[in-house]
């Protein structure tokens, strides 16, 4: 069942008992990573969302033809995007090869074969800063906080722990510059990753992503008979 499909990420939804970063940082490695992994699982689970591709050829078994069509990238003809269906063109972007002149532009669409892998790769990229910071932090905050985050703590135990934290900061004042620098570098890495993912997605989708919103607005502003 579908619940079993997502059981592997169930534990990832839990919040850490001790926070070693801020809310924005957590959005990167929690919310964004979960969204990407869910999307990757969904596009590979054809029993829930249907077959990714269907090809029909007389005399060839459907499953064999579907596999052949999947591993061979499809293409469209930009010059055939406009026209009257059933008269000028069978469907926007489609034309029999016999009707194409030499040198006609052909646009290949190969990205669909790699969507699930790219989504997982992007999820990994959003988690890398968290991995680097957690490895670098070394459990220092957890060591200092210990049981103070518990809802019920004995007053004397709480006071002892606070005294220990104060003592630690007195002894190590001014020695955490490198610790803070590593955290800031991970924050910068988060920001750089977001910007990089925008350009990577644009490249992956054939440079159609960055201007897609503007194209939609321009299309919606056109006269109905010109769309």
- Give 107's strand partners: 76
Q: Would you state the pLDDT for residue 167?
A: 83
Q: What is the pLDDT of residues 185-224, one digit of tens each?
A: 999 999 999 999 999 999 998 888 888 899 899 989 988 8
Cα-based distances in Å from 184 to 25, 127, 166, 188, 226: 11, 16, 24, 6, 51
Q: Would you state the pLDDT for residue 56?
A: 77
DSSP state of 207: T
CA distance 86 to 23: 55
The segments of the chain whose pLDDT lies below 50 read: 1
Q: Would you state the pLDDT for residue 5?
A: 57
Q: Specify whether the CB–CB gap between 69 and 109 falls below 8 A.
A: no
pTM score, two decimals?
0.77
Can you spell out the DSSP letters for 147-165?
TTTSS---HHHHHHHHHHH
CA distance 212 to 200: 15
Q: Would you state the pLDDT for residue 7?
A: 66
Q: Would you state the pLDDT for residue 61?
A: 87
Q: Which tokens sit at 101? A: 């002149």
Q: Would you state the pLDDT for residue 6?
A: 62
Q: Would you state the pLDDT for residue 35?
A: 93
- Give 74's strand partners: 109
């Amino acid at each position: 069942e579908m619940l079993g499909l997502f059981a592997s990420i169930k534990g990832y939804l839990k919040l850490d008992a001790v926070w070693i970063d801020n809310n924005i940082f957590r959005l990167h490695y929690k919310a964004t990573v979960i969204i990407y992994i869910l999307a990757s699982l969904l596009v590979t689970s054809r029993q829930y969302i249907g077959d990714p591709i269907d090809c029909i050829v007389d005399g060839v078994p459907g499953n064999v033809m579907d596999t052949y069509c999947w591993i061979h990238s499809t293409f469209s003809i930009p010059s055939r995007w406009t026209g009257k269906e059933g008269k000028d063109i069978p469907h926007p972007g489609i034309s029999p090869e016999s009707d194409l002149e030499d040198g006609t532009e052909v646009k290949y669409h190969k990205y669909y074969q790699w969507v699930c892998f790219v989504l997982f790769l992007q999820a990994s990229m959003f988690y890398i800063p968290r991995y680097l910071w957690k490895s670098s932090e070394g459990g220092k905050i957890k060591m200092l906080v210990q049981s103070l985050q518990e809802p019920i703590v004995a007053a004397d135990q709480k006071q002892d722990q606070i005294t220990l934290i104060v003592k630690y900061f007195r002894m190590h004042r001014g020695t955490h510059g490198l610790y803070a620098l590593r955290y800031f570098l991970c924050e910068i890495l988060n920001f750089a990753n977001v910007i990089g993912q925008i350009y990577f997605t644009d490249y992956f989708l054939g440079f159609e992503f960055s201007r897609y919103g503007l194209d939609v607005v321009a299309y919606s502003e056109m006269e109905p008979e010109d769309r």
